[in-house]
Structure 1
Amino acid sequence: MAQTKPNGLPFLWISLLVIILDQVTKYLCVNFIEYGTAGINVLPFFNLVHVYNFGAAFSFLADKSGWQRWFFAGLAIVIAVGFVYILKKTPKTHKWTCLAYALFIGGAIGNLIDRLFLGYVVDFLLFYIKTDSGILAYPAFNVADIAVCVGAFLLVIVSFGAKKAVDGKSEK
């Protein structure tokens, strides 16, 4: 019987941690910050707010009739299942790649939970700059969004080392 090489599935505990942290922070936001207000000023350029995103990144398609909820939920399921499959095929020794996939999975499922149970995603981290002509704000986001972005960043960084992996050296 052929032995299987250890794969990246043990990294799914990181996905679970992302999901828990995402849901706990959203719970705290919903229960302690009034919806639609300026929220809690933490720094001169950062507030904790309570807003809903009915679309995708940067509220893409948020103004549509509701079909986008199911489209983005389906997309999150496909992405999460796809990355679990890829994680299973990735050697455990490729730690940074496995971490990136695990972050994608956790982020996708964190926002999926909101979409399925609430119909929107809760966002609460708001960075902005005050100018003479007003306030320039980056769209509010959450822990799941951070996980997806960090996962994407890691994959880009790891891809720069892909030549080494092709040459027979494993990623450490």
Structure 2
Amino acid sequence: MADGKPTLFSRPAPIALFILLALALDQAVKWAVDRYLPFEEAVHVIPMLALFRTHNYGVAFSMLSNMEGWFIVGMRLFVVAFVLWLWRRTPKDRFFAHLGYAMIIAGAIGNLIDRFLHGYVIDYVLFYTQTWSFAVFNLADSFITIGACAIVLDELLHARRAKAMKAE
């Protein structure tokens, strides 16, 4: 937004509401998965996509699963605090950056809730082929990934706008 108007997610109330709704959706899906999906049995949805409930003791996509639980909790809390700091410092007209921050915060808190409730994170989405499979993940992990992509997109758009304005 070249006119400098504040975007929706640059304000506290909309970002808080978005995060709460994303958390509710994430936790509702995980509750249903935990209750109705068999443990570590693939339920094939379409070719190359299965639901596969498993427990993740690490962070997104099972990274750092051999680390101590409190280290991971501390790391997630640090990420949330850092992203909140970035959100406050980012100019209010940067829509995709603010949206990305909201998504990262929602995803990190969603997985943090799992860690406190269960001692692990419930993962359930599996992409695969006959010879390859991606790490099992969940909606909160998707929020984090899409949020990071939104921030990168925002930076690219901002650089492009700055270059266009400089050329004028």
Q: Deviations over 1:15-66 (max 9, x none)?
A: 222211111110010000111212x2110211111101111233233245xx
Mapped contact 1:45–1:127 kept (Cα < 8 A): yes
Mapped contact 2:124–2:136 kept (Cα < 8 A): yes
Q: Deviations over 1:73-118 (max 9, x none)?
A: 1111111122223323334432211101000100000000111221
Mapped contact 1:8–1:91 kept (Cα < 8 A): no
Of Structure 1 and Structure 2, which has the larger fraction of its residues in helix? 2
Give me the CA root mean square deviation.
2.2
Percent sequence identity is 33
Residue matched to 1:27: 31
CA distance in 2, matches of 1:42, 1:144: 20
Residue matched to 2:140: 144
Q: Unaligned 5+ residue runs, structure 2?
A: none
Of Structure 1 and Structure 2, which has the larger fraction of its residues in strand? 1
Among 43, 46, 54, the alignment partner of 2:46 is 43
CA distance in 2, matches of 1:37, 1:164: 47
Partner amino acid, structure 1, of 2:123: D
**Does the residue aligned with 2:55 lie in a helix, a strand or coil?**
strand
Give 4+ residue runs of structure 1 displaced > 6 Å after superposition: none
CA distance in 2, matches of 1:54, 1:29: 17
Q: Unaligned 5+ residue runs, structure 1?
A: none
CA distance in 1, matches of 2:142, 2:49: 15
Residue matched to 1:82: 82
Tell me the matched-pair count. 157
CA distance in 2, matches of 1:165, 1:8: 23
Among 55, 59, 62, the alignment partner of 2:62 is 59
Residue matched to 2:104: 104
Q: 1:125 to 1:144 in 2, by over 3 A?
A: same
TM-score by structure 2 length? 0.83
TM-score by structure 1 length? 0.81
Q: 1:47 to 1:91 in 2, by over 3 A?
A: same
